[in-house]
């Protein structure tokens, strides 16, 4: 089998009808399938070795997301190499930061932006890996993440990408306040279509495997992180710096009375509790308006306006890496998102029917016990892996 066919087989396997499910956590939204074309990519770290991005590209990899920094002091030693090599190979690139809550979000944003340097035309927005449930408390974790997201949005003029999962966000309060501050890169494995955490009703990127093998990643050894983009090549490029899109995924920033927002379709903003649309402030079509939190919900994070400060410092650094959060699947039912549940016509997954209501006390208790047991087993495995993959 050729390498190209091998990569295709590995990518398609995530959508197999009999893919095992991980009954961990509670999905806040139903499975949400792509309704059109999808593109394949990888996220990487220093532990993936010296990636041959030309080979990644020639075998169907359209995008790559490389770890740049973690906290306020760790720079992935492979980032500089990955960052320039992705550009040279024609792989659409994003850099990500692994977030901790034991240091100031603005300091972390400044550190990350200094290592990444200025974005260039064709680059994707920066990404935030939000999965630390140890240093991040239920009460403060979301607001701290929003501070980072807003600082980076202000410094780069993009809508950042948030990597997280149902399991992770279920540990935090006030997750609805994330709406409008980021587009979603969801970790959801062992499912035919990703499960989405509230408040998200659509996904831009989906990490569907931590155990893949991809041509061009010499050290993956069945541990490569494989990802999918929800759209075609034109849609991917529309999200990049210099691209233009009428979708909420690539929305420009806007401000209403000092409150930061994003230019998205009014119908999308209407689905976000605590948010309101204001006309006349966005450069796109008439149906795009500035979507901002109301006064009761805007206190969750800082405004994009005036938050760049030292976070806008430039300069190239080294470091890179890939990271993985908890996978999750639904043990309950939920309504379909705005993208609908139609089968994909070009690379997407068929919709997964929701199950019967599970409101019987004994069954709920059994499911909870089973979920805890599985979570403990996987926590041990993840803990062992974390000693090698920060």
User: Residue 216 belongs to a domain with what CATH number?
Assistant: 3.20.20.80
Q: Which sign does the torsion angle of CA 273, 276, 281, 287 carry?
A: positive
Instruction: Quick: pLDDT tens for 361-373.
Output: 343 344 344 443 4
Confidence bin at 358 (pLDDT 50/70/90): very low
Residue 271 in domain: no
Q: Model pTM?
A: 0.61
pLDDT tens digits, one per residue of 103-121: 999 999 999 999 999 999 9
pLDDT at 7 over 70: no
The answer to the question of residue 179 being in a domain is yes
Chain Cα centroid distance, residue 365:
31
Is 92 within the bounds of a domain?
yes
Residues 149, 125: contact at Cβ < 8 Å? Answer: no
pLDDT reported for residue 272: 58
* Lowest-pLDDT range of 98-102, 126-130, 220-224: 220-224
250 in a structural domain? no
CA 60 to chain centre: 20
- Whether pLDDT at 209 is above 50: yes
Q: Is residue 294 part of a domain?
A: no
Closest CA to 264 of 315, 207, 204: 204
Residue 325 pLDDT class (50, 70, 90 cuts): very low
> Is 358 a member of any domain?
yes
Distances (CA, A) of 306 to 149, 260, 264, 296, 303: 13, 10, 21, 21, 7
* 85 is a domain residue: yes
30 vs 15 pLDDT, higher one = 30
Domain of residue 155: give its range: 3-243+313-386
pLDDT digits (tens, 9 = 90+) for 246-296: 333 344 567 788 777 677 667 666 755 567 889 988 876 777 788 777 754
Number of domain units in the chain:
1
Q: In what order do the strands lie in the sheet with 259-265?
A: 253-256, 259-265, 288-293, 275-278
Q: How far apart are the first and last CA of the chain?
A: 34
**pLDDT on residue 305:** 31
Q: Is 181 among the domain residues? A: yes
């Amino acid at each position: 089998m050729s390498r190209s066919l091998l990569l295709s087989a590995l990518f398609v396997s995530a959508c197999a009808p009999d893919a095992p499910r991980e009954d961990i956590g509670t999905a806040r939204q139903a499975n949400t399938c792509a309704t059109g074309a999808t593109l394949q990519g990888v996220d990487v770290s220093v532990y993936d070795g010296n990636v041959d991005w030309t080979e990644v590209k020639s075998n169907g990899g359209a995008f790559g997301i490389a770890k740049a920094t973690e906290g306020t002091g760790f720079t992935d030693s492979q980032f500089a190499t990955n960052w320039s090599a992705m550009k040279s190979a024609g792989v659409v690139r994003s850099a990500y930061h692994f977030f901790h809550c034991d240091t100031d979000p603005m300091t972390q944003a400044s550190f990350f932006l200094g290592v990444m340097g200025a974005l260039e035309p064709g680059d994707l927005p920066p990404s935030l890996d939000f999965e630390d449930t140890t240093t991040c408390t239920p009460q403060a974790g979301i607001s701290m993440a929003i501070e980072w997201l807003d600082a980076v949005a202000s410094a780069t003029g993009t809508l950042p990408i948030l990597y997280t999962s149902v399991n992770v966000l279920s540990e935090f309060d006030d997750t609805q306040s994330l709406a409008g501050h980021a587009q979603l890169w969801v970790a959801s494995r062992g499912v035919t279509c990703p499960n989405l955490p509230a408040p998200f009703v659509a996904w831009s990127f989906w990490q569907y495997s931590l155990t893949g093998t991809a041509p061009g990643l010499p050290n993956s050894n069945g541990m490569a992180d494989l990802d999918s983009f929800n759209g075609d090549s034109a849609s991917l490029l529309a999200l990049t710096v210099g691209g233009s899109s009428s979708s909420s995924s690539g929305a420009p920033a806007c401000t209403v009375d000092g409150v930061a927002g994003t230019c998205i379709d009014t119908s999308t903003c209407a689905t976000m509790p605590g948010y309101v649309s204001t006309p006349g402030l966005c450069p796109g079509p008439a149906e795009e308006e500035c979507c901002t939190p109301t006064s009761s919900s805007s206190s969750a994070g800082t405004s994009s306006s005036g938050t760049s400060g030292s976070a806008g410092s430039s300069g190239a650094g080294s470091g890179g890496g890939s990271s993985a959060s908890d996978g999750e699947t639904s043990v309950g039912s939920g309504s379909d998102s705005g993208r609908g549940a139609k089968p994909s016509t070009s690379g997407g997954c068929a919709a997964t029917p929701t199950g019967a209501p599970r409101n019987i006390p004994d069954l709920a208790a059994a499911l909870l016990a089973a979920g805890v047991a599985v979570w403990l087993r996987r926590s041990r495995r993840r803990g062992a892996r974390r000693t090698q993959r920060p």
